[in-house]
C-alpha cells in the first residue's frame, strides 16, 4: 500500500490549485431527456471532462465547488458529496444510454439482479464520440475515487472490474449476470452426448434439425438486439458440421461484448491514476478502491463518531440509536441514512481514511414535542441533531422517515 500511495503522490498536479465551481440544476435533472441530456451526470460531464486529467489529480479534499441552482446551500462539503451521489445514481440507471440492467435483472432470475452492464452497440458500427467520452468520464470518476477515497456507489458486475485490470473473464462470469446465455448450447451438447451413448448410429443432422431448426448464425446481445456472427449469418442454419464453429463464435462474442466500452472507461481511469499503479490491483481490489466496502460497516462508523452536549457512548439514548442503525435498518436504509447525514452512500474502508468524524449532537426542543420532531442533519459537517425519543420504536420510525423523505441538500 505504501508503494501505491507513493505512485499517487508522485502524480499529483501542483500547477493548478483552483477549485472549479460547477453549477447543478436539480429541477432540470428531474425532467426526462433524450440520451440523458438533463441528468446530473451530463451536467457534470460538460463542465468537468475536458480538464479532469489535471483537476482530478489535485491534492484537494474537494475537487469542485458544487452550486445548486435555486438553492441556498453553501458548499462546505455536503453539496459536493451529494453531487457525486447523484452522478452515481444516474450512471446506474435508465436515464443515461451508457449502462443497462443485466439480463438477470431484467428477467428477475438468477444472481446479481441489481448489477448494471455497459450498453451494447453493434459490432459493425463505431461507438459515437459523445458516448466514448462519457465512458471515459466514468473512468475519470473512478480515478478520482481512488485518489480522494471518496467512494462511488457503482453497481457493476465482476466481469467489468476484471476487464478493467485485464483479467480474463470466463463463461461463468457471463452466466453470473445472464443465466440463460449458454442454455441452448449446453442443452444441444448434452443431447448429442446422451444420444451417442444410447445409439452410436443416431442421425446427428436429424437431431440438429429437430432441436435447433429455428436457430441461425446470429446472437441475441445482452440488450436484446440480434447480431450476425458471420456475414449473412441470419440465413445460415446450425448443423452438425458447423455447430462447433457456431459455439466458438457465439462464446467469442459474449466474452468480448463490452470490450470497447470498457477500453474507454480504462482510458479515463488511466488519465487520473497511472496504469502501472492499476496493474498491481486484482479485480476485487479495484472494486473496493473505487466503491469502498459493499456494505455499511456500522462498527467502523461507531469507532469514528464523537458525541456533543451531554451525549456519550454509553448514554441509553445513543445505545438505542446504534441498535436502530445496526439491527433494525436494512442495508438500503443504512445507505439512505449515510446520504442523509453526509451526502454520500458509502463509508471509507478504514479509520485512516475518515477525513472527518461523524458527530451526534442533542436536538434541543420542548419536552412535550420531542417525539414529534425529526432528526436534523448537517451534511457539510457530517453531523446529526438527534432528539431524545422516548422509545426505540419512535426513534426507528422518525429516523426512517427522515432518511427516506428529507435527504434534501437544501437543508444543509
The catalytic residues are 380
Asked if residue 236 lies in contact with residue 230, where contact means CB atoms within 8 angstroms, the answer is yes
d(CA 160, CA 178) in angstroms, rounded, equals: 14
Cβ atoms of 346 and 150 within 8 Å: the answer is no
Q: Which one, of 119, 115, 120, lies nearest residue 154 by Cα? A: 115
88 neighbors 154 (Cβ within 8 angstroms): yes
Residue 154 to residue 142: CA distance in whole angstroms: 10
List Cα–Cα distances, 123 to 127, 138, 170, 190, 243, in angstroms.
9, 22, 20, 30, 22
Q: How many CB atoms lie within 10 A of CB 190?
A: 10
Residue 61 has a CB neighbour count (10 Å cut-off) of: 13
Give the whole-angstrom CA distance, residue 179 versus residue 109.
8
> Strand, helix or coil at 174?
helix
Amino acid at each position: 500500500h505504501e508503494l501505491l500511495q507513493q505512485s499517487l503522490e508522485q502524480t499529483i498536479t501542483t500547477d493548478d490549485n483552483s477549485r472549479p465551481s460547477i453549477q447543478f440544476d436539480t429541477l432540470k435533472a428531474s425532467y426526462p431527456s433524450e440520451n440523458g441530456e438533463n441528468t446530473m451526470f451530463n451536467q457534470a460531464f460538460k463542465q468537468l471532462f475536458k480538464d479532469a486529467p489535471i483537476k482530478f489529480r489535485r491534492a484537494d479534499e474537494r475537487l469542485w465547488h458544487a452550486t445548486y441552482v435555486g438553492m441556498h446551500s453553501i458548499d462546505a462539503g455536503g453539496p459536493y458529496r451529494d453531487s457525486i451521489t447523484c452522478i452515481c445514481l444516474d450512471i446506474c440507471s435508465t436515464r443515461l444510454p451508457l449502462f443497462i440492467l443485466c439480463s438477470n435483472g431484467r428477467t428477475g432470475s438468477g444472481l446479481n439482479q441489481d448489477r448494471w452492464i455497459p450498453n451494447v452497440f453493434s459490432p459493425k458500427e463505431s461507438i459515437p464520440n459523445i458516448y466514448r467520452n462519457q465512458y471515459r468520464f466514468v473512468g475519470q470518476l473512478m480515478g478520482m475515487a481512488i485518489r480522494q477515497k471518496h467512494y462511488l456507489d457503482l453497481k457493476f458486475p465482476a466481469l467489468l472490474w476484471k476487464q478493467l485490470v485485464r483479467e480474463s473473464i470466463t463463461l461463468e462470469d457471463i452466466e453470473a449476470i445472464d443465466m440463460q446465455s449458454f442454455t441452448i448450447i449446453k442443452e444441444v451438447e448434452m443431447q448429442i452426448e446422451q444420444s451417442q451413448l444410447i445409439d452410436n448410429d443416431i442421425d446427428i443432422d436429424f437431431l440438429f434439425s429437430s432441436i435447433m431448426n429455428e436457430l441461425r448464425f446470429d446472437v441475441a446481445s445482452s440488450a436484446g438486439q440480434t447480431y450476425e456472427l458471420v456475414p449473412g449469418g441470419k440465413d445460415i442454419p446450425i448443423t452438425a458440421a458447423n455447430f462447433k464453429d457456431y459455439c466458438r463464435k457465439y462464446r467469442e462474442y459474449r466474452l468480448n461484448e463490452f470490450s470497447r466500452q470498457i477500453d474507454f472507461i480504462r482510458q479515463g481511469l488511466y488519465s487520473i491514476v497511472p496504469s502501472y499503479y492499476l496493474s498491481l490491483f486484482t479485480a476485487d481490489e479495484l472494486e473496493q478502491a473505487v466503491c469502498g466496502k459493499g456494505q455499511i460497516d456500522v462498527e467502523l462508523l461507531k469507532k469514528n463518531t464523537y458525541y456533543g452536549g451531554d451525549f456519550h457512548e454509553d448514554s441509553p439514548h445513543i445505545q438505542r440509536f446504534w441498535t436502530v442503525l445496526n439491527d433494525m435498518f436494512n442495508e438500503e436504509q443504512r445507505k439512505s441514512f449515510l446520504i442523509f447525514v453526509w451526502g454520500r452512500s458509502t463509508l471509507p474502508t478504514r479509520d485512516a481514511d475518515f477525513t472527518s468524524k461523524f458527530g451526534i449532537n442533542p436536538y434541543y426542543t420542548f419536552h412535550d414535542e420531542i417525539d414529534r420532531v425529526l432528526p436534523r442533519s448537517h451534511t457539510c459537517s457530517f453531523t446529526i441533531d438527534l432528539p431524545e425519543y422516548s422509545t426505540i420504536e419512535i426513534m426507528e420510525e422518525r429516523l426512517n422517515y427522515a432518511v427516506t423523505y428529507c435527504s434534501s441538500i437544501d437543508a444543509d
